[in-house]
Structure 1
Amino acid sequence: MAVRSTTISWATHPAVRLVLALVLGIVIWFYWGASLPELLPWLAAAEVLYLGANLWAARASTPGAHDAAGLLALGVVVLAGTTIAQQATESRRSEHLYHQGSIEFYRAVVDDYTVVRPNTYATTLRVSAVRVAGQWRHALGGVRVSVPRYEANAQEPRYGQVWLVRGAPTPAKAPLNPGEFDYRRYLGYHQIYHQQFVHPDQYRVLAVQPPNWLRYYSMQAAKHLEGVFRRYVTAKREFAIADALVLGLKDEVDSDTKQAYANTGTTHIMAVSGLQVGLLFGVLQLILGRFFGNTRGFRVWSAGVGLLVIWAYAFLTGLSASVLRAAVMFSFVAGARAVGRQSNMYNTLAVAAFCLLLYDPYLLVDVGFQLSFLAVLSIVYLQPRIAAWIDAQEWTARKIRPWQPRWQQKLLGAAGWALDAVWQAVALSLAAQVATFPLGLFYFHQFPLSFLLSNLVAVPLSSLALYVGLGLQAVAFLAEGAVRLTGLQALLCLPRSLGWVFEKLIWLFNEYIVWVGQAMPGALVTGIHLTPPQTWLLYLLIALLLAFVAWRRLVWLGAAALVLLVFSGSRVTAARAVATDKRLIIYSIPRRSALGLHDGASALIITPDSMPLNHTEQTYRVLPGLIERGNRQVRYVAGWPPQLAVRHLGQGGPVLLSWHGKRVAYVSQRLWKGQQPVPVDMVVLRRNARVWPEQLLATFGPRALVVFDSSCRSWYVERLSAALQKVGLRVHDVTAQGAVVQRVASAPMKEQVVLSN
Structure 2
Amino acid sequence: MFHWASYAFVRLTLALMAGILTYLYVGEQLPTLVWPLAALVGLFLIIQARVWRHPDPAVADKAGLLALAAVYVAGAAFMQQATESRRPDHLYRFGADIEFYRAVVDDYTVVRPATYATTVRVSAVRVGGKWQPAVGGIRVSVPRDSGVAAPQYGDVWLVRGAPAPSKAPLNPGEFDYRRYLQYHQVYHQQFIHPDQYQRIGIAPPSVLKAAAMRAARVLDGVFRQYVHAKREYALASALVLGIKDDVDQQTRQAYANTGTTHIMAVSGLQVGLLFGAVSWLLGWLPGRRGPLFRLLTALLGLAVIWSYAFLTGLSASVLRAAVMFTFIIVARASQRQANMFNTLAVAAFCLLCYDPYLLCDVGFQLSFLAVISIVYLQPRIAGWFDVKNYFLEKQRPWQPNLVQMLWKGSSNFLDGVWQATALSLAAQVATFPLGLFYFHQFPLSFLLSNLVAVPISSIAVYVGLGLLALKGVVAGLALLLPDLAALLNYGPIAVAWVFEKLIWLFNEYIFWIGRTMPGALISEIHVTAPQAWLVFGIILALLAFFQLKKLAWLGLACLLTGIFAGSRVWAAHRLAPDERLIVYSIPRRSVLGFWQGAAAHIVSVDSLPLTETERTYRIVPGIIQREARSVRYHTRWRESPVPATPDIAARPGLVLAVWRGVRVALVSGPLAGAHQPVAAHVVVLRRNARVWPEDLAAVFGRGAIIVFDSSCKSWYVESMREKLQPTGWQLHDVAMQGAFVWQVGATDALNR
Return the offset for 1:436: 0.2
Q: Given the alignment, which residue of 337, 352, 355 partners 1:360?
A: 355
Distance 1:108 1:115 in 2: 18
3-state SS of the aligned residue for 2:489?
A: helix
Q: Does 1:375 align with 2:370?
A: yes
User: What does the per-residue CA deviation read over 1:50-99, in whole Å, with 9 as the maximum and x for residues that have no partner?
Assistant: 22333444566653322222111100100001000000001100111111
2:315 pairs with one of 316, 320, 329: 320
TM-score (norm 2): 0.97
Q: C-alpha separation between the residues in 2 aligned to 1:678 and 1:524?
A: 48
Q: Which runs of 5+ in 2 are unaligned?
A: 747-752
Aligned equivalent of 1:212, options 184, 202, 206: 206
For each residue in 1:549-569, what CA deviation from the matched residue of structure 2 results, as whole angstroms up to 9, or x when unmatched?
001111110111001000000
Q: 1:231 to 1:293 in 2, by over 3 A?
A: farther
Match of 1:288 in 2: 282
Q: Distance in 2 between matches of 1:310 and 1:538?
A: 35
* Shift in Å, 1:530: 0.6
Partner residue, 1:224: 218
How far apart in 2 are the matches of 1:60 and 1:648?
Answer: 90
Distance 2:329 2:253 in 1: 35
The match for 1:701 is 701
State the alpha-carbon separation in 2 of the partners of residues 294 and 602 from structure 1. Answer: 66
The equivalent of 1:715 in structure 2 is 715
- Residue from 16, 22, 32 that aligns with 1:22: 16
* Residue 560 (str. 1) matches residue 557 (str. 2): yes
Q: Which residue of 1 aligns with 2:749?
A: none
8 Å CA contact 2:644, 2:658 repeated in 1: no
Counterpart contact for 2:306–2:322, Cα < 8 Å: yes
Partner residue, 1:301: 296
CA gap of 1:293–1:251, structure 2 versus 1, over 3 A, is farther
CA distance in 1, matches of 2:163, 2:705: 31
Task: Output the CA distance in 2 between the equivalents of 1:647 and 1:199.
Answer: 42
- Please give the alpha-carbon distance, in whole angstroms, between the structure 2 residues aligned to 1:315 and 1:438: 33
> Are 2:621 and 1:621 aligned?
no
What is residue 450 of structure 2 aligned with on the other side?
A: 455
Q: Of residues 576, 579, 586 in structure 1, which corresponds to 2:576?
A: 579
Q: 1:714 to 1:381 in 2, by over 3 A?
A: same
Matches within 5 A, 1:520-539: 520-539=517-536
Residue 667 of structure 2 corresponds to which residue in structure 1? 667
Q: What residue in structure 1 maps to residue 422 of structure 2? A: 427
Q: Which residue of structure 2 lines up, in the alignment, with residue 650 of structure 1?
A: 648
Question: What SS is found at the alignment partner of 1:731?
Answer: strand
Correspondence 1:480 to 2:475: yes
Aligned to 2:441: 446
The 8 Å contact of residues 669 and 689 in structure 1, kept in 2 or not, is answered as yes
Secondary structure of the residue that 2:285 maps to in structure 1? helix
Task: For residue 291 of structure 1, give the secondary structure of its aligned residue in structure 2.
Answer: coil
What is the alpha-carbon root mean square deviation over aligned residues?
1.3
2:181 equivalent to 1:187: yes
Partner of 1:540: 537
How far apart are residue 618 of structure 1 and its match? 0.6
State the Cα distance separating 1:343 from its structure 2 match: 2.1
How many angstroms does 1:323 deviate by?
A: 0.1
Q: 2:79 aligns with which of 57, 73, 85?
A: 85
Query: Secondary structure in 1 aligned to 2:274?
Result: helix
After superposing the two structures, state which structure 1 stretch, 26-35 or 40-49, moved more. Answer: 40-49
Identify the residue that residue 9 of structure 1 maps to in structure 2: 3
- Check if 1:276 corresponds to 2:270: yes
Consecutive unaligned residues of structure 1, counting only runs of 5 or more, are: 1-6, 747-757
Determine which of 146, 154, 165 is the counterpart of 2:159: 165
- Residue 632 of structure 1 corresponds to 629
Tell me how far apart the structure 2 counterparts of residues 295 and 544 of structure 1 sit (CA, whole Å). 40
d(CA) in 1 for partners of 2:666 and 2:681? Answer: 11
The size of the alignment, in residue pairs, is: 739
Structure 2 CA distance, aligned partners of 1:421 and 1:20?
Answer: 35
SS at structure 2 position matched to 1:104:
strand
Matched ranges for 1:395-406 at <5 A? 395-406=390-401
Aligned to 2:608, the other structure's residue is in SS state coil
Q: How does 1:219-258 map to 2 (within 5 A)?
A: 219-258=213-252
Bigger drift between 310-319 and 605-614 goes to 605-614
Opposite residue 524 of structure 2, the aligned amino acid is G
Q: Determine helix, strand or coil for the equivalent of 1:702.
A: coil
Which amino acid letter does the alignment assign opposite residue 323 of structure 1? V
State the 1:675 CA deviation: 3.3
Of 202-211 and 241-250, deviating more is 202-211
2:474 & 2:295 partners in 1: Cα distance? 34
String of CA shifts for 1:323-371, please: whole Å, max 9, x gaps.
0000000000000100112221000000000000000000000000000
Q: Partner of 1:753 in structure 2?
A: none
Q: One-letter code of the match for 1:650? A: I
CA distance in 1, matches of 2:717, 2:312: 47
Return the alpha-carbon distance in structure 2 between the equivalents of residues 674 and 741 of structure 1.
28
In 2, the alpha carbon distance for the partners of 1:732 and 1:429 equals 50
Question: For each residue in 1:702-745, what CA deviation from the matched residue of structure 2 results, as whole angstroms up to 9, or x when unmatched?
Answer: 21000000000111111011211222211110001110011113
Q: Which moved more, 1:488-497 or 1:365-374?
A: 488-497
2:678 alignment partner AA:
V
> Structure 1 segments of 4 or more deviating over 4 A?
56-62
Residues 548-604 of structure 1 show CA distances to partners (whole Å, capped at 9, x for unaligned) of 000111111011100100000001111111111111100000000000011111111
In structure 1, distance between residues paired with 2:318 and 2:711: 43
Deviations 1:423-479 (A, max 9, x none): 000000000000001000000000000000000001100000000000000111122
Is residue 139 of structure 1 aligned with residue 137 of structure 2?
no
- SS at 1:736 equivalent: helix
* 8 Å Cα contact 1:153-1:200 kept in structure 2: no
Partner of residue 729, structure 2: 729
| Aligned equivalent of 1:75 | 69
Q: Which moved more, 1:29-38 or 1:724-733?
A: 724-733
**Contact conserved, 1:14 with 1:347, CA < 8 A, in 2?**
yes
Distance, in Å, in 2 between the alignment partners of 1:93 and 1:366 is: 23
1:271-301 deviation line (CA, Å, top 9, x unaligned): 1001111111112112211334536421121
Letter in 2 for 1:704: A
- Contact conserved, 2:215 with 2:313, CA < 8 A, in 1? yes
Aligned to 1:588: 585
For residue 548 of structure 2, what is the aligned residue in structure 1?
551
* CA 1:85–1:292: 2 relative to 1, 3 Å: farther
Amino acid at match of 1:367: V
Q: Which amino acid aligns with 1:373?
A: F
Higher mean alpha-carbon deviation, 485-494 vs 379-388, is at 485-494
Give the structure 1 partner of residue 599 of structure 2.
602
Q: 1:202 aligns with which of 196, 200, 203?
A: 196
Q: Secondary structure at the match of 2:393?
A: helix
Counterpart CA distance in 2 for 1:28 and 1:674 is: 59
Normalization by structure 1: what TM-score? 0.96
8 Å Cα contact 1:396-1:413 kept in structure 2: yes
Q: How does 1:24-39 map to 2 (within 5 A)?
A: 24-39=18-33
Deviations 1:203-262 (A, max 9, x none): 111111111000010001001000100110000000000000000000000000000000
Match of 1:260 among 210, 231, 254: 254
Question: Which stretch of the first structure deviates more once superposed, 186-195 or 668-677?
Answer: 668-677
**1:659 CA displacement:** 1.1
